[in-house]
Chain A
Amino acid sequence: MKKIFVFSVVAAASMLFAFGAPKKEVFVKESQVFAKVDNAKSKSKKWPSSVVIFKDDMSAAKSAAKNWKIENGELKGSEGAPLVIKNAKGVYAISLEFNADEAGEGCIFVRAPKGDVSKAVCIKLCQLNADKGETSIGSINGVIKPGNKFNETKDGRWSRIMIFVEEEGVRVTPNTNLCGHYADRNFLTYKWEDISKKSGYEVAEEGEAGFLCSKGNLKFKNISITVF
Chain B
Amino acid sequence: MNIISRRNFLQTAALTGAGLALGPSLFGKDEVVDKNWKSPHANLVSPDKKVRLAVIGCGGQGGVDANIMAGGVQFAAFADVDYDRASAWFLREPNVPRYRDYRKMLDEQKDNIDAVLIATPDHTHFPAAVMAMNLGKHVYVEKPATHTIGEARYLKALAKKTGLVTQMGNHGHAYDGCRELKEWIEAGVIGDVTEVHIWTNRPVWPQGVPNPDPEKKFEVPSTLDWNLWLGVSKYYNYNPDYVPFDWRGMWDWGTGAIGDMACHMFDPIFTAIDLRGDVKVSSESEGATEFSCPKWAKVKYEIGASKTRPKPVTFNWYEGKCRPHLKDLPDGLFKEEKDIPHTGMLYVGTKGAIIDTDDYGTRMRLLPAEKWEVFRKNRPPKKYARVPDRNARMEFIRACQGGPTPGSNFVDHSMDLTEWGLLGVLSLRLGNKTIDWDYKKGVCRGLPEANKFIHKEYRVF
Which residue numbers of A lie inside 8 Å of B, CB to CB?
9-10, 13-14, 17, 23, 25-35, 37, 40-42, 44-47, 49-50, 52, 91, 93, 95, 160, 162, 164, 166-168, 171, 173, 176-183, 185, 222, 224, 226, 228
Contacts and interface: CB of A to CB of B under 8 A. Distances in A.
Nearest to A16: B460
Contacts of A91: 222
Nearest to B154: A30
B104 A29 contact: no
B91 A28 contact: no
Given A30-B150, A182-B60, A168 B219 contact: yes
Contacts of B223: 164, 166, 185
Nearest to A93: B87
B17 interface: no
12 contacts: A29-B457, A30-B456, A33-B458, A42-B104, A44-B100, A44-B228, A46-B99, A47-B100, A52-B94, A160-B91, A179-B67, A228-B222
Given A28-B460, A42-B103, A182-B245, A34 B87 contact: no
Contacts of B461: 17
Contacts of A160: 91
B126 interface: yes
Contact of B235 (A25, A33, A176): A25
B interface, how many residues as a size bin? 35 or more
Interface in B69-104: 83-85, 87-92, 94, 97-101, 103-104
A9 to B, nearest CB: 8
B424 interface: no
A10 B460 contact: yes
B127 interface: yes
B42 interface: no
A84 B64 CA distance: 36
A43 B154 CA distance: 27
A122 B389 CA distance: 47
Contact of B61 (A9, A166, A167, A181): A181
Contact of A46 (B104, B106, B130): B104
A28 B130 CA distance: 14
A27 B127 CA distance: 13
Given A17-B460, A26-B459, A30-B148, 10 more contacts: A27-B460, A30-B151, A40-B103, A41-B107, A42-B104, A44-B104, A178-B91, A179-B64, A182-B245, A185-B85
Contacts of A164: 84, 87, 223
Nearest to A169: B222
A124 B380 CA distance: 61
B442 interface: no
Contact of B127 (A34, A95, A171, A228): A34
The 6 closest A-B pairs by CB, nearest first: A179-B63, A27-B457, A42-B103, A13-B460, A47-B98, A34-B131
A98 to B, nearest CB: 14
A105 B222 CA distance: 31
Interface centre among A37, A52, A176, by most B CB within 10 Å?
A37
Contacts, number: 139
B112 interface: no
Contacts of B235: 23, 25
Given A42-B103, A166-B222, A178-B88, A30 B134 contact: no
Contacts of B60: 181-183
A206 to B, nearest CB: 16
Contacts of B363: none
B287 interface: no
B102 to A, nearest CB: 8
A185 B84 contact: yes
B244 interface: yes
B279 interface: no
Nearest to A160: B91
B234 interface: yes
A99 B225 CA distance: 35
B371 interface: no
B332 to A, nearest CB: 40
Contacts of A162: 87, 91
B130 A41 contact: no
Interface in B39-84: 59-61, 63-64, 66-67, 83-84
Contacts of B277: none
Q: Give the most central of A14, A32, A162, A178: most B CB within 10 Å.
A: A178
A42 B460 contact: no
B458 A29 contact: yes
Nearest to A48: B98
B354 to A, nearest CB: 30
A128 to B, nearest CB: 27
A95 B88 CA distance: 10
Contacts of A42: 101, 103-104, 107
Interface in B235-260: 235, 244-245
B368 interface: no
Interface in B204-240: 219, 221-223, 225, 228, 232, 234-235
Contacts of B340: none
B219 A14 contact: no
A179 B86 CA distance: 9
B1 interface: no
Contact of B91 (A10, A95, A167): A95
